[in-house]
Amino acid sequence: MTATQTGNGARWVDIERGIIGRDIFVSDEIYAREMQQVFGRAWLFVGHQSQIPNPYDFFVSRMGAESVIMTREKTGQIHVFLNTCRHRGMKVCRYDQGNARVFTCPYHAWSYSVDGNLTSAPGGLAGVPQYKAIYHDELDKSQWGLVPVAKIANYKGSIWASWDADAPEFETYIGGMKLYLDAVLDHRDGRPGGSEIIGGIQKWKVPSNWKFGAENFIGDLYHITSHRSVDMVSIGPSGAGRRDTPIVKHQGAKRPPPFASIGFPNHGHGVIGNLPHYEEQDYVPQFTLTPEVEEYYRHIYHARVANLGGQKRGLAAVGTIFPNLSFHGMQPRALFTWHPNGPREMEIWKWYLVDADAPAAVKDVLRRYYLRYAGPAGLTEQDDMENWNYATSASAGMEAGRYPYNYQMGLGYERPAPDLTDAVYTTAVTEQNQRIFYQRWAQYMDAESGDRLHPERNSNFADMLARRRA
């Protein structure tokens, strides 16, 4: 990556040398720029359609540092609006979720519709008290509705939005990573979608820059030593460790392709999982402590074999979709966002996933496992947040600021991923995906990034391969 390619980005990120300055984690200026350049232009995860099943249901979410309302109108169509009144800015909805046909501002009662039938446009300004008498019919209501997102996408039930009308289409934005997002969202038996959100979103504030979360989940296999304490106490669903390791033991078994870090340089996404394959590996018992769940997994394994046949598939352990949506794909199974609350704090939101039609007993076991593993009370993730907290504060030091961080692991050892047109991979533990993430971040931070924000016209993938060691 050269300076000309990334403009401002290069000031902080030197991908060729695997060096990144500490100030990107603490600088107020860089943070303000992130709001505009990254969160103002990228696709952001907003929520899941299963959270608003009925007409007029709404869920209040966030995009970057701002509050948004995800609504479902009578027709079933889903909308996302900025949660602020156009008159004086009052937050029009201060509930976490609910059902409402109209959002009436508490201050002067301007009322916004969520239903195309009530006014000309969803989110449009439906009611303005004394409109004729005091606005003399001159206020152009069509210009003063709730601010809608520029683009919205519903991908297998997951709702995404962007403030940038020039943003690439969602499927272009997600690129080959789609295969791994499917692995999270699809039913375990292979049916598209078919997962749902467990009621209740965990939300908590962590004194850490948001990127520490994103980079950790995009490919930080290296930090497992940090979790030794939880491995020692064995919270895994089959007893040992903290999760099942789906590795076939016996000879001549069908195995999936190697577990690897797979990154998408033109997109900024990355995942730790198995390379694409076309056949299921042999069944490996899971959740053996709870026979009914093990039975369920055995059952859907066979269903999956039947449903998918020779289709291409991937397996995802953890991953991040640029910029701030990460996921757990296997154990536990969740989507989470790293919302920026200033450079030194983030607010984590966690959505837990299960197969929508799984038996209650199975859902219960999974839920309990998820909760002991993840979130602020999760035996595993508590230690992650501790590391991010103190990494953030240490990034602010005057003297420390002279020593950039090291992202050199596996630098130059990336290979083109088979069966993927836009991905590289490394089987050994590597920081390949973190480099991909920050290179993409630098491009978004670059004022003149223009074309390169469109993955298909970006050259990171080609450049990275060109830089490979012989």
Chain residues that interact with ligand FES, rule: CB under 6 A: 85, 87-88, 90, 105, 107-110
Residue 347 binds which entry of other proteins, a copy of itself, ligand FES, none, CB below 5-8 Å type-dependent: other proteins
Rounded Cα gap, residues 127 and 325, in angstroms: 36
Residue 413 binds which entry of Fe ion, a copy of itself, ligand FES, none, CB below 5-8 Å type-dependent: a copy of itself
Residue 228 binds which entry of other proteins, Fe ion, ligand FES, none, CB below 5-8 Å type-dependent: other proteins
What's the min distance (Å) between Cβ of 81 and a copy of itself?
11
β partners of residue 194: 186
Tokens of 293: 């769940």
Binding window for other proteins (CB under 8 A); candidates: 158-166, 270-278, 302-310, 379-387 = 379-387
Angle at 128 between CA 123 and CA 130, to 5 degrees: 170
What's the min distance (Å) between Cβ of 290 and other proteins?
12
Q: How far is CA 253 from CA 97, 243, 246, 282, 297, in A?
A: 48, 21, 12, 6, 18
Per DSSP, the chain holds a count of helices (H) and strands (E) of 13, 23
Give yes or no for residue 153 binding other proteins (CB under 8 A): no
Give yes or no for residue 88 binding a copy of itself (CB under 8 A): yes
Q: Would you give the end-to-end CA distance of the chain in angstroms? A: 18
Give yes or no for residue 203 binding a copy of itself (CB under 8 A): no
Q: What is the torsional sign of CA 368, 360, 45, 411?
A: positive
Residue 205 binds which entry of ligand FES, Fe ion, other proteins, none, CB below 5-8 Å type-dependent: other proteins
285 within 8 A of 245, measured Cβ to Cβ: no
φ/ψ (deg, to 5) at 366: -60, -50
User: What does the per-residue mask of binding to other proteins show for 199-218, with x meaning CB under 8 A?
Assistant: xxxxxxxxxx----------
Q: What is the DSSP string of 301-363?
A: HHHHHHHHTT--EEEEEEEEETTTEEEE-SSS-EEEEEEESSTT-EEEEEEEEEETTS-HHHH
Is 269 strand, coil or helix?
Answer: strand
Residue 397 binds which entry of ligand FES, a copy of itself, other proteins, none, CB below 5-8 Å type-dependent: a copy of itself
Residue 394 binds which entry of Fe ion, other proteins, a copy of itself, none, CB below 5-8 Å type-dependent: a copy of itself
Binding window for other proteins (CB under 8 A); candidates: 212-220, 223-231, 291-299, 321-329 = 223-231
User: What does the per-residue mask of binding to a copy of itself show for 363-392, with x meaning CB under 8 A?
Assistant: --------------------x--xx--xxx
Give yes or no for residue 288 binding other proteins (CB under 8 A): no
Tokens of 228: 């030794």
> b or e along 328-362 (b: 16 or more beta carbons within 10 Å of the residue's beta carbon)?
bbbbbbbbbbbbbbebbbbbbbbbbbbbeebeeeb
Rounded Cα gap, residues 93 and 103, in angstroms: 7
| Residue closer to a copy of itself (CB basis): 69 or 300 | 69
Single residue of 95, 135, 278, 403 touching other proteins by CB under 8 A? 95
Give yes or no for residue 75 binding a copy of itself (CB under 8 A): no
Give yes or no for residue 232 binding other proteins (CB under 8 A): yes
Tokens of 52: 């608003």
Give yes or no for residue 368 binding other proteins (CB under 8 A): yes
Single residue of 76, 89, 106, 192 touching other proteins by CB under 8 A? 106
214 within 8 A of 437, measured Cβ to Cβ: yes
152 within 8 A of 78, measured Cβ to Cβ: yes
* Alpha-carbon 54 to chain mean position: 25
Per CB under 8 A, residues contacting a copy of itself are: 22, 25, 35-36, 39-40, 63-67, 82-91, 94, 106-109, 129-130, 133-136, 138-139, 144, 147, 163, 212, 222-223, 225-226, 383, 386-387, 390-395, 397-400, 403, 405-406, 408-411, 413, 428-430
Residues that bind other proteins in the complex, under the rule CB under 8 A: 94-98, 100, 106, 198-208, 226, 228-230, 232-235, 347, 350, 352, 364, 367-368, 370-372, 375-377, 379, 381-383, 385-387, 389
